[in-house]
Copies of this chain bind each other. A is one copy, B any other.
Amino acid sequence: MLNFQYYTPTKVVFGKDTDLEVGELVKQQGCRKVLIHYGGQSAKRSGLLNRVTGALDEAEIAYVELGGVVPNPRLSKVYEGIRLCRSEGVDFILAVGGGSVIDSAKAIGYGAAEEGDVWELYDYKREAKACLPIGAILTIAAAGSEMSNSSVITNEDGWYKRGYGSDLSRPCFAIMNPELTYTLPDYQTQSGCTDIMMHTIERYFNMSGSMDITDGISETLLKTVMKYARILREEPENYRARAEVMWAGSLSHNGLTECGNDGGDWASHRLEHELGGLFDVAHGAGLAAVWGSWARYVCDAAPERFATFARNVMGVSADLDAKEAALAGIVAMEDFLRSIGMPVSLYELGIEPTEEQILDMADKCCLGDEITVGCVKKLKVADVAGIYRMAR
Contacts and interface: CB of A to CB of B under 8 A. Distances in A.
Which of A6, A13, A18, A248 has the most chain B CB atoms inside 10 A of its CB?
A6
A223 B9 CA distance: 28
Nearest to A15: B3
A4 interface: yes
Given A8-B8, A247-B211, A223 B216 contact: yes
Given A212-B227, A220-B220, A248-B213, A243 B14 contact: no
Given A3-B15, A213-B247, A247-B260, 17 more contacts: A2-B15, A3-B14, A3-B18, A4-B15, A7-B11, A8-B8, A212-B224, A212-B227, A213-B220, A213-B224, A213-B248, A213-B251, A216-B216, A216-B223, A216-B224, A217-B217, A219-B220
Contact of A259 (B9, B223, B240, B247): B247
Interface string A215-231: 01101110110011000
Interface string A1-30: 111111111011111101000000000000
A11 B5 contact: yes
Contact of A14 (B6, B8, B223): B6
Interface string A199-218: 00000000000011100110
A18 B3 CA distance: 8
In the A-B complex, the 9 residue pairs with the closest CB atoms: A3-B15, A216-B220, A6-B12, A9-B9, A7-B11, A212-B224, A4-B14, A213-B224, A217-B217
A244 interface: yes
A7 B260 CA distance: 22
B18 A12 contact: no
Interface of A: 1-9, 11-16, 18, 211-213, 216-217, 219-221, 223-224, 227-228, 240, 243-244, 247-248, 251, 259-260
Contacts of A7: 11-12
A20 to B, nearest CB: 12
Contacts of A9: 8-9, 11
A240 B12 contact: no
A221 B4 CA distance: 18
A211 B12 contact: no
A243 B211 contact: yes
Nearest to A218: B220
Contacts of A217: 216-217, 220
B240 A1 contact: yes
A251 B216 CA distance: 13
29 contacts: A3-B14, A3-B16, A4-B12, A5-B12, A5-B13, A5-B14, A6-B12, A6-B14, A7-B12, A8-B9, A9-B9, A211-B243, A211-B244, A211-B247, A212-B220, A212-B224, A212-B227, A212-B244, A213-B220, A213-B244, A213-B248, A213-B251, A216-B216, A216-B217, A216-B220, A216-B221, A217-B220, A220-B220, A243-B260
